[in-house]
Amino acid sequence: MFSYILRRIWQMIPTLLGVILLIFFLFKLFGGDPVEIMAGLKASPERIASLRAQLGLDKSVWEQLWVFVQQVFTFNWGKSWTTNEAISDIFATRLPATLTIMIPILLFGVVLAIGAGLAVAYVRGSLTDRVIMIVTTVALSVSFLVYIIVGQYLFGFVLGWFPVQGWSNSVWTNLTTYAPLPVFLAVLVSLAPETRLYRSFFLDEIGQDYVRTARAKGVTENTILLKHVLRNAMIPILTNVATGLPGVFIGSFLIEVFFSIPGLGREILVAVNRSDYPVIQAATVYLSALTMLINLITDVLYKFVDPRVTLK
């Protein structure tokens, strides 16, 4: 397994280099001129030239590319073009708030979706199964913005159970006071599609020969579902969770904006509005690297879930 991990890490290097080149040239070709945006419409040519030299944009494209590569591998992105705050400080101070939201969403979302999918698969073909499928289909057609607006109005203003906005320096206060409402709404949104998907995974396994053999031996339905079907369905579930993790991170952007959470997602959206390229580029590169790392961890977990899987 160790040799497999080393090979995968080695294979990530050209992929990461390709991502770096793609991001650099996309910003160069289609990102517009950040100097003109920052200087304003009435800026003098001298002011624009001075600002361009200050940001290092007066150098050749290849010199700028080399600086960009150095920034990626040294984790030194310099300072924000608009706030003059060190980008390392931006990540260090904003990421904890994002993780405070993301981790509960991921844990509760996966556990509840697996439980719901297994429960619906248990009553497959019944009236309950049909009703739940109709409800999840309707839930899928509702925008996340509707959940946020209705949730804030109902639970924040009408019932007064949770504050609609706010954040503190205490992790425990954030988890118990400010995070429950956005976490609940995000999990509620993800529950419908995940329940339908996991139900299909479980139903595929229920139709396999080993399930019929277990029933013929007198094994109870609960044991079949919990001991055999659940374990064999974990590989597609792990794949779905791994591919959905970047989406959870991106989805937190919207949550942070509407609930005034000082997280990394809101900071990136502000950077997009200000054309603060170093912040956007750093977040994009690291999100790409995180996605590759998650895929590697998922492949390794396949071996622990199913010993029959061979890593080559």
Shared-domain flag, residues 229 and 166: yes
Q: What's the predicted TM-score (pTM) here?
A: 0.78
pLDDT of 96 strictly over 80:
yes
SS3 79: strand
Same structural domain for residues 112 and 232? yes
Give me the CATH number covering residue 284: 1.10.3720.10
Give yes or no: residues 114 and 66 share one domain: no
Asked whether residue 159 falls in the same domain as residue 293, the answer is yes
Same domain, residue pair 62 and 102: no
Query: For 147-164, how does the pLDDT look when each residue is reduced to its tens digit (9 = 90+)?
Result: 888 888 888 888 888 888
Please check whether residues 170 and 238 belong to one and the same domain: yes
For residue 54, what are the domain limits?
A: 2-74
State the Cα–Cα distance between residues 57 and 207, nearest whole angstrom: 61
Q: Domains in the chain: how many in total? A: 2
Domain-located, residue 82: no
- Reported as a pLDDT band with limits 50, 70 and 90, residue 310 is low
Q: What pLDDT does 165 receive? A: 81
Residue 79 resides in a domain: no
Decide if 289 contacts 9 (C-beta within 8 A).
no
Domain presence at residue 92:
no
For residue 260, name the pLDDT band (cuts at 50, 70, 90).
confident
Q: Are residues 263 and 144 in the same domain?
A: yes
Q: What is the pLDDT of residue 233?
A: 83
Q: Per-residue pLDDT for 169 more than 80?
A: yes
Is residue 38 domain-shared with residue 120, that is, in the same domain? no
Helix residue spans in the chain (DSSP H): 2-30, 34-39, 45-54, 61-74, 87-122, 127-140, 144-151, 171-173, 180-206, 209-216, 221-223, 230-232, 234-258, 264-274, 277-305
Of 74, 108, 135, at which residue does a domain stop?
74
On whether residue 129 sits in a domain, the answer given is yes
Distance CA 91, CA 104 (A): 20
- Is residue 123 located within the same domain as residue 222? yes
